[in-house]
C-alpha cells in the first residue's frame, strides 16, 4: 500500500468549544493524501459556522438530524474513499505528524487490518496529562474482559472494515470496543505502532462520563457475548500488567509524558 489515502471522519454535535482545534489538528497534518469528512447531527451551537469557516479543506460535510454518534460515523465511512479509515471525535485531536506515521506504518505492514497507536489523554485546555503504550489485543485477555486501546489512535484498513461488518449503529457508547472484540474473534491482523497519534480530551461534558442505563446495558450485553464465559478477570489483569512491565511500556510511557511536559 503505497502512499495510502486516509479518510478521517468527525462526528459532531454541539462541541463548538473544541471543534475548531479538532479541525486544525487534521488540516495541519504534514501528510496530505487525506480526505476529511464532518458529519454533524444538526448542532444548535456555533458548530456550523466553524465548519463553514473551514469548508474548503473538507471533502464533504453535512448537518442533519441523525441517530447519534454511531450513525454519524457509519454515514461518514460510507462516504469515504480512502484506503485507511478512522474517526476523530469533535472534542479530540491529532498530534503533529500523526497521519504521516500511520501512512508509513501501513506501507511497511501491508497485511494490517487494524492499527492501534499509542494514546494520550489531555485536559480541557488540550494539555497532555497521560501517555499510554498498548500491546496487541489478545484473545486470552479479551475473553476475560481485559481490552485496552485508544480509539483516537485506531485506524482501519477499509477493505477489512466493511468485510468485518462495520461498527454497530445500534450501540451508542460501546461501538468501538464491540468492534475490537468482534475483530479478535474474526482473527483479524492487528498491528501496534509505538508512536503517538490521537489525543483523548478529558472534560466534564464528554460523552464517556455518561452513566446512563443505556450505556450500562450495552456494557453488560457485550460482556455476556464476549467474555462472561471466562470469569478470571483479576488474574487476566495481572497478566496484562506483567506483559506491560516486561515490555517496559509503563516506564517508556512515563518518560514520553515527561518529555512532552518539559517541551511546553
The DSSP code sequence of 98-164 is HHHHHHHHHHH-TT-SEEEEEEEEE-TTS-EEEEE------HHHHTTT-----GGGEEEEHHHHHHH
Q: Are strands 114-122 and 154-157 parallel, antiparallel or unpaired?
A: antiparallel
- 499509542: which residue's cell? 118
Render pLDDT for 35-49 as a digit per residue (tens, 0 to 9).
Answer: 999 999 999 999 999
Give the model's pLDDT for residue 234.
84
Q: Which residue has the higher pLDDT, 2 or 103?
A: 103
- 464517556: which residue's cell? 208
Give the model's pLDDT for residue 229.
67
pLDDT of 232 over the 80 cut: no
Q: Is residue 122 assigned to a domain?
A: yes
Give the model's pLDDT for residue 25.
97
Q: Is residue 242 assigned to a domain?
A: yes
Whole-angstrom distance, CA of residue 237 vs CA of residue 249 = 15
Q: Is residue 173 assigned to a domain?
A: yes
pLDDT of 260 over the 90 cut: no
What is the average pLDDT value for the chain, to the nearest integer?
A: 92
Q: Is residue 213 assigned to a domain?
A: yes
What average pLDDT does the segment 112-134 reach? 95
Q: Is residue 208 assigned to a domain?
A: yes
pLDDT of 210 over the 70 cut: no
Look up the pTM and report it.
0.93
Q: Is residue 165 assigned to a domain?
A: yes
Q: Is residue 256 assigned to a domain?
A: yes
- 454533524: which residue's cell? 40
Q: Is residue 1 assigned to a domain?
A: no
Domain count, the chain: 1
Where residue 154 sits, what CATH number does that domain have?
3.90.550.10
The CA–CA distances, whole Å, from 91 to 18, 23, 34, 86, 141 equal: 5, 10, 20, 15, 30
Domain range spanning residue 90? 6-262
Amino acid at each position: 500500500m503505497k502512499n495510502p489515502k486516509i479518510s478521517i471522519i468527525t462526528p459532531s454535535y454541539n462541541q463548538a468549544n473544541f471543534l475548531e482545534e479538532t479541525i486544525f489538528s487534521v488540516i495541519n497534518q504534514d501528510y496530505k493524501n487525506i480526505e476529511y469528512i464532518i458529519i454533524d447531527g444538526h448542532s444548535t451551537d456555533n458548530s456550523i459556522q466553524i465548519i463553514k469557516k473551514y469548508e474548503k479543506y473538507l471533502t464533504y460535510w453535512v448537518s442533519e438530524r441523525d441517530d447519534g454518534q454511531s450513525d454519524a460515523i457509519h454515514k461518514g465511512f460510507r462516504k469515504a474513499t480512502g484506503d485507511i479509515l478512522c474517526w476523530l471525535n469533535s472534542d479530540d485531536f491529532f498530534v503533529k505528524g500523526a497521519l504521516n506515521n500511520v501512512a508509513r506504518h501501513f506501507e511497511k505492514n501491508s497485511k494490517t487490518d487494524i492499527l492501534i497507536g499509542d494514546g494520550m489523554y489531555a485536559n480541557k485546555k488540550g494539555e497532555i496529562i497521560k501517555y499510554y503504550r498498548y500491546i496487541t489485543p489478545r484473545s486470552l485477555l479479551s475473553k476475560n474482559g481485559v481490552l485496552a486501546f485508544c480509539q483516537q489512535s485506531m485506524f482501519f484498513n477499509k477493505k477489512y472494515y466493511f468485510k468485518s461488518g462495520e461498527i454497530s449503529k445500534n450501540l451508542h457508547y460501546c461501538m468501538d470496543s464491540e468492534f475490537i472484540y468482534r475483530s479478535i474473534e474474526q482473527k483479524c491482523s492487528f498491528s501496534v505502532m509505538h508512536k503517538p497519534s490521537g489525543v483523548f480530551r478529558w472534560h466534564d461534558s464528554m460523552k464517556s462520563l455518561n452513566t446512563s442505563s443505556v450505556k450500562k446495558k450495552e456494557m453488560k450485553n457485550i460482556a455476556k457475548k464476549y467474555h462472561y464465559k471466562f470469569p478470571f478477570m483479576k488474574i487476566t489483569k495481572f497478566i496484562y500488567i506483567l506483559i506491560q512491565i516486561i515490555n517496559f511500556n509503563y516506564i517508556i510511557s512515563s518518560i514520553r509524558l515527561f518529555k512532552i511536559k518539559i517541551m511546553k
